[in-house]
Amino acid sequence: MEGRDYARELNRFLVEVFNDILKTEEAYVSEGYADLSVREMHLIEAVCRAVDEGADNRPSAIAAAQHVTAGTLTVAVNQLEAKGYLERARDGSDKRSVRLCPTQKGREADRRHAGFHRELVEAAVERLTLEETEALARGLSGIAAFIREKYLTA
């Protein structure tokens, strides 16, 4: 296969797979949590990850990690707080600072969502050798780096 045909085929594949993953993830999320969008689920995931990893879980840090404005994040957090998935808590050492924390309901939603991603990864690598898995990971890392550097840098 010529390089040009290969690039076209790879582009079509990436676009189709990306769209299919989004549609499948939307269906998966709505099946267990009909009141959540995928974007809201990803926000819950980001808050859970920040808390679990001891990272910055202030709204400004979460907004930056999600590549949204502070205003957009505030609206989303207000909605997720009203739905019972997230809560705002005053920082113990600095009462002026607010931290975002998942509720038990938020943790449950995050675990279900993590299950979707685990299944997705398992399905992607179950038919691959270790070398093929490593090559796939390198290729996807390159795509991720390109997107971050070209489109997601401040």
The number of distinct structural domains making up the chain is 1
Question: Residue 101: how many CB atoms within 10 A of its CB?
Answer: 16
d(CA 81, CA 102): 9
d(CA 29, CA 14): 22
Residue 35 contacts residue 25 (beta carbons within 8 Å): no
The tens place of each residue's pLDDT in the chain, 154 residues long, gives 455 688 888 899 999 999 999 999 999 888 889 999 999 999 999 999 999 999 999 999 999 999 999 999 999 999 999 999 999 999 878 778 899 999 999 999 999 999 999 999 999 899 999 999 999 999 999 999 999 899 887 5
> Which residues span the domain enclosing 133?
3-151
Based on DSSP, count helices (H) and strands (E) in the chain, helices before strands: 6, 2
Q: Which amino acid is at 69?
A: T
Residue 81 contacts residue 88 (beta carbons within 8 Å): yes
- Identify the CATH number of the domain in which residue 25 sits: 1.10.10.10
